[in-house]
Amino acid sequence: MTARGSRRLVSILMQGLPVWITLLTAVVALVGGLTVGSQIKSPAQLAAETRPPEAGLITAEVERRQLTARVVARADVSFADPIEVNPPTPVGADSAVVTGNVPEIGAQVNAGDVLIEISGRPVFVLPGAFPTYRTLGQGSAGPDVQQLRAALNKLGIKAGPSSKTYDAVLADAVQKLYTRSGYPPPGSDDLSLAKGVRDARDALTEAKEAKTQAQQEYNAAKSASPSDDGTTSQLELAALKQMVTVAGRAVTRAQEALSDAQRAAWTTMPAGEVIFVSKLPRRVDSVDAAVGQVLIGGGGERAAIVLSGANIGIVAHVPGVYAELIEKGEKAVLSASDGTEYQATVKSACVEPRASTVCDTKLSLDDPLGANREALVGNIRVSIAVGTSSVDALVVPVAAVSANPGGHAQVQRVTGGLLHDRSPDQQMTTMITVKTGLSAEGYVEIEPADGGIDVGDLVVLGVASQATPSAEPTGR
């Protein structure tokens, strides 16, 4: 195309532009008019669309299941029979200074452990029922001696057969308890005791040698030729024999002295260096001691260490109005802080439930060994069962039950198609007289007086103010 032709084509298009614009404007106006027109409604149409639908019945199905009525309360969970430890000043020390082995809260304490070190001396934990009340050693006898012997035998330290008397075997076992824990046995630094044993042993040796010498002299004299008249020989033999007798007595006294010295040197079990605890292991619940701290008088207002009990104690605080419903043996559910639920049983019911607004009820865990004690301890939620229906009880929502003019319980059962347009068929219901039982979980147990109702039947709960318009039957 030439330049002249191009200019002519542009001129023609420019001349036709108003026509195209006019056509486009018309199309847009037409579409807009149709859209606006479709959104305009008459007053009658608006009233019809905003009129509330006809009311309909609210129904629920009859079910067959077990109901359990529960009382929900709070419970304090703690370790039972805690033990407070206040170590006294060790023998020979001026004060009870914490020098080491301070336990951490939550630590487990086992039999034979050193719980804490006071003024350089250990405090052992041993299994036993009797508390420590005296130092055990030479001359001690009683059930506490027997307890110490049994505890050491359980640790694998041979302490001899059961006996209430402190003896050398038990003393040796106590010594081994200390040495295997890295501590010098009590009395091992008393040089006088060791010297006494050495001196007594030396004296026994000398006495035995003197007796041997006297015996040899007597035997020699007895075998020698007698004098002519025999008088001197008999006197000499008698004297030598007396010397043998005296030497023998000296040996006996030396043996007794050695035994006394050895008993005096027996390793003792100081009262301040052991605590007996039932049902080990245990847990350290609190510590009020630090290295360098002086425990005034063997302890202050607070215990230096508190060991948790072996058992978990559970006390539920039940409102007085519900307490009389709870009986011994009822089942409960504890909700721990970590969300875990544990089964428990009521150990004792409230004696006088109406005497106060809150009744304390004791519970016990069904499986204490499988419980996470850390999550359980504290104030937690508890649900206690106070009544249970049969496994296949017939139940309906509580709202379905009303009272007839005679005061008897009744439910309204739907006998026809459930319609929401309030047609005459909608009125096909019948009243069934029932006997009510346990009520729980929003449901109530029913027993029809003359039958006429079963699982799956619909019972009326009320009338809905706005139901979805429908001419079709519905299952609810």
Which residue(s) pair with 314 in the sheet? 77, 363
Which residue(s) pair with 331 in the sheet? 345
Which pLDDT belongs to residue 357?
A: 80
Q: Please compute the mean of the pLDDT values over residues 42-48 and round it to a whole number.
A: 61
Q: Distances from the Cα of 460 to the Cαs of 75, 205, 291, 398, in angstroms? A: 40, 110, 75, 11
222-227 long-range contacts (CB < 8 A, ≥24 apart) are none
Report the distance separating Cα 142 and Cα 163, nearest Å: 9
Which pLDDT belongs to residue 26?
A: 38
Query: What confidence category does residue 52 fall into, taking pLDDT thresholds of 50, 70 and 90?
Result: low
pLDDT at 405 over 60: yes
Report the distance separating Cα 187 and Cα 199, nearest Å: 17
pLDDT at 41 over 80: no
Report the distance separating Cα 437 and Cα 178, nearest Å: 69
Q: Please list the helix, strand and coil fractions of the chain in percent, rounded to the nearest 5, in that order.
A: 35, 30, 35
pLDDT at 115 over 80: yes
Report the distance separating Cα 237 and Cα 233, nearest Å: 6
Highest-pLDDT range among 83-97, 108-122, 310-324: 108-122
pLDDT at 30 over 50: no
Percent of the chain with pLDDT over 90: 53
Report the distance separating Cα 419 and Cα 111, nearest Å: 76
User: For the purposes of burial, counting CB atoms within 10 Å of the CB of 433, is it exposed (0-12), middle (13-18) or buried (19 or more)?
Assistant: middle
Tens-digit pLDDT profile for residues 342-376: 999 999 877 665 556 888 899 999 998 788 877 88
CA-based nearest residue to 115, from 135, 77, 87:
87
Structure token pair of residue 444? 């109530």
234: enclosing H helix or E strand: helix 231-264
402: enclosing H helix or E strand: strand 401-403
More confident site: 190 or 40: 190
Say whether 132 sits in a helix, a strand or coil: coil
Neighbours of 342 (CB within 10 A): 23
Instruction: Tell me the residue type at 73.
Output: A
CA-based nearest residue to 474, from 458, 463, 462:
458
- Sequence-separated (6 or more) residues with CB below 8 Å from residue 207: 247, 250, 251, 253, 254
Instruction: Tell me the residue type at 422.
Output: R
CA-based nearest residue to 114, from 100, 132, 135, 133:
100
Query: What confidence category does residue 475 fall into, taking pLDDT thresholds of 50, 70 and 90?
Result: very low
Tokens 């529960």: give the residue: 70
pLDDT at 445 over 90: yes
Answer whether 0.95 is exceeded by the pTM: no
Query: What confidence category does residue 117 fall into, taking pLDDT thresholds of 50, 70 and 90?
Result: very high
Which pLDDT belongs to residue 16?
A: 43
Which pLDDT belongs to residue 380?
A: 94
Which pLDDT belongs to residue 37?
A: 45
Tens-digit pLDDT profile for residues 194-226: 899 899 999 999 999 999 999 999 998 888 766
Highest-pLDDT range among 4-8, 101-105, 279-283, 428-432: 101-105
Query: What confidence category does residue 252 fall into, taking pLDDT thresholds of 50, 70 and 90?
Result: very high
Say whether 343 sits in a helix, a strand or coil: strand
Instruction: Tell me the residue type at 239.
Output: A
Give CA 132 to chain center in angstroms.
27
